Amino acid sequence: PINPLKLLAEMEARSPTLPDALASGSPTLVEFYAPWCVSCRESAPAMMRLERRFTGVNFVVCNAEDPRYAELVRLFGVDGIPHYALLDKSSKLAGTLVGEVPESVVESSLVALAADRPLPYGAEGAPGGAK
């Protein structure tokens, strides 16, 4: 069986930095997780599948408890884990998914993001009035 914490750490280790992702001109999903988060561990294999499928989307994976990401946690207003911030190709926040989110919801959001269409699900408390 796959160790989900190891999987999350591997995804984090190979993910681009946020500045590199934003500079690429491609849409970006920023995933904030925590090692203690059961939903994060349960969704790790699904997120790996989505990362492999959506090659035109950057996946930036951050351990929200790591002090290196404290500024990003603050900037994205992370107050629930897992927290997925979806940024369009112009680096604007298109939407936010927080908590236990079904793989199909993340997937349909990525389909819309990759096609430069509005997300099918509204963003909760997204800065800048994103919806």
Q: Is the link from the previous residue into 82 a cis peptide, with omega within 30 of 0? A: yes
- Asked about 37 being catalytic, the answer comes back as yes
Residue type, 23: A
Q: Is the dihedral of CA 5, 31, 43, 25 positive or negative?
A: negative
> Of 40, 62, 78, 119, which residue is the catalytic one?
40
Q: Which residues of 76-102 are buried (b: 16+ CB within 10 A; e: fewer)?
A: bbbebbbbbbbbbbebebbbbbbeebe
Sequence-distant (≥ 6) Cβ neighbours of residue 16 within 8 angstroms = 24, 58, 60
> Of 21, 37, 73, 78, which residue is the catalytic one?
37
Residue with structure tokens 């681009």? 16
- Asked about 40 being catalytic, the answer comes back as yes
Q: Which residues are known catalytic residues?
A: 37, 40
